[in-house]
């Protein structure tokens, strides 16, 4: 029997994630949303694409959580998306309320699951989900660093006219202005981009990566990116259900790694059946570590907003 992955929120990101999971054949997929008919309709549409795209996995939609029972991974995309002029942080209170309901149900119906958070602001929502769930820290992680690295890979590939498959990008920190792309550890054909590009070219890539989401929000005008975010979430959920033990940069709860404690932040992590099976501590130098600590402090400050009762 295939494992089960539930995707909560059948909007743009959730639907793309569910569809990529179906295409990859990684698991049975259950799509949940509060809007009546939406998850059912999208699930049916995706299932019918199986005849064309050559997959045969079960995709179902539901407005309730019974169908999600005993999921190995629950991907949470439910919430509001950004509109032009909004920062990810503007979403905080609304999405925190949604998160409370969704995480409560995920815990009730799938007490052994790994929770993969996609809802923004990502680092804060991951921490919030960890607290609400009462799960051990390895079973709650966030998606964005893989997405940010994919964006940086794209920008490097474009600038160097290199195949994207030959490009590696190291991105840590927070999913926002305090993202920490690390050019020294980003490579084309194994060679650091610091040896291949000028400091001006590198700065441009770092800036474009940090603003990658905003650039798309400004173009779309009515919502935020979803193809790459959905694909990133699907890839991570797949790595977990297949127990791949692969290193994927993820938003993880830190307990002293990099000298940072009690905050969820993007770092390289080994993903397997138990979620985050190991946090990898890279040797960061100078500014790299300073920036990571600055990101940690900012995320912590934002996270603390949720500890104060909101009216």
User: At its nearest, how many Å lie between ligand APR and the CB of residue 33?
Assistant: 4
DSSP label of 13:
H
Just list the catalytic residues.
175
Q: Long-range contacts made by residues 36-45, C-beta under 8 angstroms, separation at least 24?
A: 36/63, 38/10, 39/10, 39/63, 42/10, 42/15, 42/18, 43/10, 43/18
Binding flags for ligand APR, 163-202, as an x/- string (CB under 6 A): ----------------------------------------
Q: Which residue from 6, 12, 72, 303 is in contact with ligand APR, where contact means CB under 6 A?
A: 12
Indicate whether 110 belongs to the interface with ligand APR (CB under 6 A).
Answer: no
Indicate whether 118 belongs to the interface with ligand APR (CB under 6 A).
Answer: yes
Indicate whether 306 belongs to the interface with ligand APR (CB under 6 A).
Answer: no
Q: Which residue from 5, 7, 13, 206 is in contact with ligand APR, where contact means CB under 6 A?
A: 13
**Site residues (CB under 6 A) for ligand APR, limited to 221-250:** 223-224, 226, 229
What does the buried/exposed string (b/e) look like for 247-280 if buried means 16 or more CB atoms within 10 Å of the residue's CB? Answer: ebbbbbbbeebbebeebbbbbbbbbbbebbeebe
User: At its nearest, how many Å lie between ligand APR and the CB of residue 44?
Assistant: 16
Indicate whether 82 belongs to the interface with ligand APR (CB under 6 A).
Answer: yes
For residue 1, what are the contacts with CB-CB under 8 A and spacing of at least 6? none
Q: Which residue from 7, 10, 43, 114 is in contact with ligand APR, where contact means CB under 6 A?
A: 10
Q: Long-range contacts made by residues 189-197, C-beta under 8 angstroms, separation at least 24?
A: 189/162, 193/156, 193/160, 196/160, 197/159, 197/160
User: At its nearest, how many Å lie between ligand APR and the CB of residue 7?
Assistant: 10
| Interatomic CA distance for residues 211 and 88, integer angstroms | 12
Indicate whether 35 belongs to the interface with ligand APR (CB under 6 A).
Answer: yes
Q: Which residue from 8, 149, 260, 292 is in contact with ligand APR, where contact means CB under 6 A?
A: 8
Tokens of residue 17, six digits: 């994630």
Contact 41, 69 (CB under 8 A): no
Q: Which residues contact ligand APR by CB under 6 A?
A: 8-14, 32-35, 38, 77-82, 91, 95, 98, 101-102, 118-120, 223-224, 226, 229
């Amino acid at each position: 029997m295939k494992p089960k992955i539930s995707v909560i929120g059948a909007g743009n990101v959730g639907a793309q994630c569910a569809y990529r999971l179906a295409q990859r054949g990684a698991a049975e997929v259950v799509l949940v949303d509060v809007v009546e008919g939406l998850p059912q309709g999208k699930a049916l549409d995706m299932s019918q694409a199986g005849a064309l795209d050559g997959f045969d996995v079960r995709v179902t939609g539901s407005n309730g959580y019974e169908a999600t029972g005993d999921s190995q991974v629950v991907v949470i995309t439910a919430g509001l998306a950004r509109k032009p002029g909004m920062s990810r942080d503007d979403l905080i209170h609304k999405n925190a309320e949604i998160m409370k309901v969704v995480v409560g149900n995920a815990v009730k119906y799938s007490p052994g699951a790994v929770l993969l958070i996609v809802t923004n602001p990502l680092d804060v929502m991951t921490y919030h989900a960890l607290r609400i769930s009462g799960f051990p820290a390895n079973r709650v992680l966030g998606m964005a660093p893989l997405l940010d690295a994919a964006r940086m890979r794209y920008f490097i590939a474009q600038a160097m006219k290199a195949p994207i498959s030959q490009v590696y990008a190291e991105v840590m920190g927070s999913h926002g202005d305090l993202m920490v792309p690390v050019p020294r550890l980003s490579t084309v054909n194994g060679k650091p981009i610091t040896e291949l590009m000028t400091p001006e070219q590198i700065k441009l890539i770092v800036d474009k990566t940090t603003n990658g989401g905003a650039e798309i929000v400004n173009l779309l005008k009515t919502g935020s990116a979803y193809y790459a975010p959905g694909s990133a979430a699907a890839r991570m959920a797949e790595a977990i259900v297949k127990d791949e033990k692969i290193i994927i940069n993820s938003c993880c709860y830190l307990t002293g790694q990099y000298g940072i404690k009690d905050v969820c932040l993007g770092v390289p992590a080994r993903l397997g059946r138990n979620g985050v099976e190991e946090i990898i501590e890279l040797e960061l130098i100078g500014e790299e570590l300073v920036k990571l600590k600055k990101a940690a402090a900012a995320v912590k400050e934002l996270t603390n907003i949720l500890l104060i009762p909101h009216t």
